[in-house]
Structure 1
Amino acid sequence: MNSTTRVALVTGGSGGIGRAVVERLAADGLAVGVHYAGNKARADETVAAVTSAGGRAVAVSGDVADEHAMSAAFDAVEREFGGVDVVVNTAGIMLLSPIATLDLDDLDRMHRTNIRGTFVVSQQAARRVRGGGAIINFSTSVVRTQLPGYGAYVASKGAVEAMTLVLARELRGKDITVNAVAPGPTATPLFLQGKEQATIDNLAKAAPLERLGAPQDIAEAVSFLAGPARWVNGQVLYANGGLA
């Protein structure tokens, strides 16, 4: 392996936006650790897609909220590729309900994955990412659009934005950028599941570009922050086609 090859670790990298991010970073020339929580077959399929296209990838597993599991995942990527330059936190869950009727167990599940998980991975990234690297977390455009039913999910992603901006300041002098991407409505299985076609159509028309985002649209924003965007730091990039 070329000693100049950059290395990325993508949490939740086996499906949806995460897989698109893996494939885009691999196409950009990075070796990629494809993290998964439970579906090894899907992660192996993603690795196979990268390698068949001429890239380098390895599957690593672990609960993002478990600091020991994620330390081991970072270790595995470092053993395979020699270090870590880019960490992308796409792993997350979304459970929707009006605040008044939300099952508090769902709140705790989202807190564990979206807040603690992002914190644990960011903590490992802050310790391990090499100079010239990037840490990219994931928020949501609903932080701005404030759609009913998203209260608990938005609360978790608001916390992600806050910790991201603080971490950018804490890494002063290390030449590591820390940003967040906040996608708008994006055509992934997670987004489409359980929605009526009329709802999907209305969300597609909400942005001035009058379509849903594609996972590749979000991956393009990640590619920018992971590569050429060395003067973009401590920011939230709203990738949503012009939605409010």
Structure 2
Amino acid sequence: MTETVQGKHIVVTGGTGALGAAVVGKLLADGATCHVPNAHAAAPSHFPFVSDDRVRLAHNVDLADPSKVDAFYASVPDLWASIHLAGGFTAAPVEKIESASFAEMMDTNARTAFLCCRAAVRSMLASATAGRIVNVTARAGLDPRRGAGMVAYTASKAAVAAMTVAMAEELKHKGILVNAVAPSTLDTPANRADMPDADVTKWVSLEAAAEAIAYLASPANLAMSGTLVPLYGRA
């Protein structure tokens, strides 16, 4: 019988967002306990799992602050998997991108993923856990030609992709499998509002993305590591 995430402790950064809530919901249905860092002093009102006793929310956690990240991971018992969905997006012509905006994208997407990966690896090595790490890059991160008009975002997501593959190679003899998913456009309320004329049937559903992420984070994934999984839907 294939082992499941029943009873396992899993970190989900960005867990209060649209994709995050879908992932948390899937993991809860599979029996996991989810640890969700939140940058604010309280959970957002739209987060549906505030009262679930298998969701451990930690507030005022700045994922770009190494000390805050390390303290958060130190509070998670028996870490099995760490899923990194936190991030941001910006688009602008290259000549209009300010240095601060570029740095913000690198901090929001690449730096947070690195700090969380590092903390997760330290925890897993300390407990001799053959764990799982799942990052989120983007289609533009794998094919930068699709990043026209969003150079800073594309560069930050390409960094996440490269980091994922490098870490998987480094950790392959230590039992920690590291992968990433690369979505195109996700079917979220925000994307629908921003692109009201788009054909949403070509987008990737949150449920489909959550299924892929949950598989990569589960014990059922016995061999996939260093894989950048395209989630392109019909686009």
- For this structure pair, what is the TM-score category when the shorter chain's length is used for normalisation? 0.7 to 0.9
Question: Structure 1's 45 and 186: CA in aligned 2 closer, same or farther, altered over 3 A?
Answer: closer
Q: 1:231 aligns with which of 219, 223, 235?
A: 223
Instruction: Look up the match of 1:164.
Output: 164
Contact 1:12 1:37 in 2 (8 A): no
Question: Structure 1's 192 and 38: CA in aligned 2 closer, same or farther, altered over 3 A?
Answer: farther
Give every structure 1 segment of 4 or more consecutive aligned residues whose post-TM-superposition deviation is greater than 6 Å.
Answer: none
How does the TM-score come out when normalised to structure 2?
0.87
Instruction: Look up the match of 2:3.
Output: none
Deviations 1:41-64 (A, max 9, x none): 228944336x2xxx6111013111
CA RMSD of aligned residues (A): 2.0
Shift of 1:8: 0.3
Deviations 1:139-158 (A, max 9, x none): 01123261421211010000
Instruction: Look up the match of 1:69.
Output: 68
Question: Structure 1's 33 and 46: CA in aligned 2 closer, same or farther, altered over 3 A?
Answer: farther
Separation in 1 of the partners of 2:135 and 2:231? 13
Where structure 2 has 5 or more consecutive residues not aligned to the other structure, the ranges are 1-5
Q: 1:101 aligns with which of 96, 99, 106?
A: 96
Contact 1:34 1:47 in 2 (8 A): no
Shift of 1:39: 6.1
Q: 1:132 aligns with which of 130, 133, 157?
A: 130
1:37 aligns with 2:39: yes
Question: Structure 1's 190 and 37: CA in aligned 2 closer, same or farther, altered over 3 A?
Answer: farther
Q: 1:28 aligns with which of 9, 24, 30?
A: 30
Contact 1:137 1:180 in 2 (8 A): yes
Separation in 1 of the partners of 2:138 and 2:98? 21
1:240 aligns with 2:223: no
Separation in 2 of the partners of 1:94 and 1:33? 24
Instruction: Look up the match of 2:79.
Output: 84
Separation in 1 of the partners of 2:148 and 2:192? 17
1:171-190 to 2 correspondences below 5 Å: 171-190=171-190
Separation in 2 of the partners of 1:23 and 1:148? 34
Identity %: 30
Comparing 64-73 with 36-45, greater Cα deviation is found at 36-45
Deviations 1:117-175 (A, max 9, x none): 11111110111135231000110112326142121101000000001111111113221
Contact 2:21 2:47 in 1 (8 A): no
Shift of 1:40: 2.1
Q: Which structure: greater helix fraction?
A: 1
Question: Structure 1's 73 and 189: CA in aligned 2 closer, same or farther, altered over 3 A?
Answer: farther
Separation in 1 of the partners of 2:184 and 2:177? 23
Shift of 1:191: 3.1
Q: Look up the SS of the partner of 2:49 in the other structure.
A: helix
Separation in 2 of the partners of 1:93 and 1:117? 11
How does the TM-score come out when normalised to structure 1?
0.84
Separation in 2 of the partners of 1:190 and 1:75? 33
Paired residues, number? 223
